[in-house]
């Protein structure tokens, strides 16, 4: 069977499974999710063994440190996966809920009912925990999903898929609700992109090149997340100690992820006081390299190098931070509009009016006041998990949890009315 035949067969099975899942009770879905949480905990050694095979092969191939970090399933990450299953299981089931209803003059009741999207295809790189996050979110939302992970994580993904299948069958649901493509053939991506007869939406999660390729090839809607170029603006009224902690967390906790901080914009009135603090805590203490504008360069010490034309808008995925002094908040907002990626933008300020102006006017999927960029994450925002962070506004903007993986249809309750 060639790759295109394989994907066609998987698409057909997913369509059938999606119809069965639409009719599944909330209890059946919760039963599968709770069983999966148990399996992840019980079979942690098997998960780790499969992941170690992937890690060893990735190291042999010279995979860079940020991608190795995203590939690794640590005990903490495995525990988080199990916890996410429990959290999603206990959430209210959105499917079938009528969110709003109104009465027409002729007595008809018109409402909007929340329904699954159908079949979702997911293409992602490195992070094998995405297999679990995507599977459980789609299950709760009533969607079947076809997963195509990166070749570097194939053993991890297959091991996790087996646990998903076991949990689904335990709850009386078809295992085809979640399918992992068993081949690393790149033709699988092209084949997925043409299966609009079976796939309702496709979500690429990875590098910008992958996402743009999928957008060009796909014959179905694409939920896009090109890159995460996140900025912090330190206003002239900011609490500098608090702001410094926020910058340290945003840049250094996990520099290889999409909600890591990439650019620091500092108001000119506090730059001479604040930037030496940044130089000491991030440069000297944490080995962050600064790509500095001419005005900030002399304030950042030996870890500063001159900013080039290529730096603005760059997603470094590393301990590298662009630093620019701005004359005003408007200049900061203009810079973000020109070089941001609609992902996450933050302001540190004690001025309520300026905070609200920034929050209202800056275009990003998440805008924060006095909080780290790292909070733009499904789990951190109370969604339990996320299938990705959409930086396009249709169909969703920001982290996509259970509710974001559904849509609505109109429903009408009549008593024999006919249109005149």
Distance CA 344, CA 349 (A): 17
CA distance 33 to 356: 40
- Dist. CA 74–CA 44, nearest whole Å: 10
C-alpha pair distances (Å), 372 with each of 55, 281, 311, 367, 394: 30, 16, 22, 10, 26
- Tokens 């992070």 belong to 127
Domains and CATH numbers, the chain: 3-223 (3.40.605.10), 230-375 (3.40.309.10)
The confidence score (pLDDT) of residue 364 equals: 97
User: Given pLDDT bands bounded at 50, 70 and 90, which one contains residue 44?
Assistant: very high
Query: Residue 322's pLDDT is what?
Result: 98
HSE toward the beta carbon, residue 293, CA cutoff 13 A: 15
- The model's pLDDT over 125-168, given as tens digits with 9 standing for 90+, comes to 888 999 999 999 999 999 999 999 999 999 999 999 999 999 99
pLDDT, one tens digit per residue, over 311-362 is 999 999 999 999 999 999 999 999 999 999 999 999 999 999 999 999 999 9
Q: What is the pTM of this model?
A: 0.88
3-state secondary structure 107-146: CCEEEEEEEECCEEEEEECCCCHHHHHHHHHHHHHCCEEE
What is the pLDDT, as a whole number, of residue 224? 84
Task: Give the tokens for residue 372.
Answer: 């780290």
Of the CA atoms within 13 Å of residue 112, those in its CB half-sphere come to 5
Would the pLDDT of 23 be above 80? yes
Kindly tell me if the per-residue pLDDT of 266 is higher than 80.
yes
Average pLDDT over residues 375-395: 89
pLDDT band (50, 70, 90) for residue 69: confident
Give residue 324's pLDDT: 98
Q: Beta 98-103 vs 109-116: how paired, if at all?
A: antiparallel
Which pLDDT score, from 0 to 100, does residue 200 have?
A: 97
pLDDT at 1 over 80: no
Q: What is the DSSP string of 139-207?
A: HHHT-EEEEE--GGGHHHHHHHHHHHHHHHHHTT--GGGEEE-----THHHHHHHT-TTT-SEEEEES-
The secondary element (H helix, E strand) that includes residue 10 is helix 3-22
pLDDT in tens, 275-289: 999 999 999 999 999
Contact 230, 261 (CB under 8 A): yes
CB neighbour burial string for 299-322, b if at least 16 within 10 angstroms, e if fewer: bbbebbeebeeebbebbbbbbbbb
Residue 70's pLDDT is what?
86
Total number of residues shown for the chain? 420
| Short-list 322, 319, 321, 278, CA closest to 301 | 278
**Helix/strand/coil for 14:** helix
User: Looking at residue 184, what is its pLDDT?
Assistant: 86
User: In angstroms, what CA-CA distances link 80 with 73, 112, 129?
Assistant: 10, 34, 9
> Does residue 226 register a pLDDT over 80?
no
CA dihedral 112, 113, 118, 123 (to 10 degrees): 70
Q: Which of 63, 74, 277, 213 is nearest to 156 (CA)?
A: 74
Higher pLDDT: 209 or 413? It is 413
> What pLDDT does 48 receive?
98
Q: What is d(CA 182, CA 318) in angstroms, rounded to the nearest whole number? A: 31
């Amino acid at each position: 069977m060639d790759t295109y035949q394989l994907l066609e067969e998987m698409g057909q099975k997913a369509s059938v499974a999606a119809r069965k899942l639409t009719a599944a009770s909330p209890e059946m879905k919760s039963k599968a999710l709770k069983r999966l949480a148990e399996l992840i905990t019980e079979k942690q050694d098997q998960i780790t063994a499969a992941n170690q095979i992937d890690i060893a092969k990735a190291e042999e191939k010279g995979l860079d440190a940020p991608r190795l970090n995203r590939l690794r399933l640590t005990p903490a990450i495995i525990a988080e996966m199990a916890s996410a299953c429990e959290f999603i299981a206990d959430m209210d089931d959105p499917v079938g809920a009528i969110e709003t209803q109104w009465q027409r003059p002729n007595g008809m009741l018109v409402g909007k009912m929340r329904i699954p999207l159908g079949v979702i295809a997911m293409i992602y790189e490195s992070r094998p925990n995405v297999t679990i996050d995507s599977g459980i979110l789609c299950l709760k939302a009533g969607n079947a999903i076809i997963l195509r992970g990166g070749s570097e994580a194939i053993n991890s993904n297959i091991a996790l898929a087996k646990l998903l299948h076991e949990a689904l069958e335990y709850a009386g649901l078809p295992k085809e609700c979640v399918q992992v493509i068993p081949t690393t053939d790149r033709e699988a991506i092209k084949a997925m992109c043409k299966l609009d007869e079976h796939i309702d939406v496709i979500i690429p999660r990875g590098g910008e090149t992958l996402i743009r390729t999928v957008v060009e090839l796909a014959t179905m809607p694409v939920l896009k997340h090109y890159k995460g170029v996140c900025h912090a603006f330190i206003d002239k009224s900011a609490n500098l100690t608090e702001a410094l902690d926020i910058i340290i967390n945003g840049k250094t906790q996990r520099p290889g992820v999409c909600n890591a901080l990439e650019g620091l914009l500092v108001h000119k009135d506090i730059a001479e006081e604040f930037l030496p603090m940044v130089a000491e805590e991030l440069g000297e203490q944490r080995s962050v390299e600064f790509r500095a504008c001419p005005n900030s360069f002399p304030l950042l010490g030996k870890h500063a190098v001159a900013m080039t034309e290529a730096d603005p808008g760059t997603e470094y995925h590393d301990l590298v931070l662009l630093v620019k002094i701005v004359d005003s908040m408007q200049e900061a907002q203009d810079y973000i509009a020109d070089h941001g990626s609609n992902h996450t933008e933050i302001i540190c300020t004690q001025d309520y009016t300026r905070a609200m102006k920034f929050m209202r006017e800056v275009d990003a999927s998440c805008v924060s006041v006095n909080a780290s960029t790292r909070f733009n994450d499904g789990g951190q925002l109370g969604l339990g998990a996320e299938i990705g962070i959409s930086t396009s506004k249709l169909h969703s903007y920001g982290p996509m949890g259970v509710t974001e993986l559904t849509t609505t249809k109109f429903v009408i309750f009549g008593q024999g009315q006919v249109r005149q």
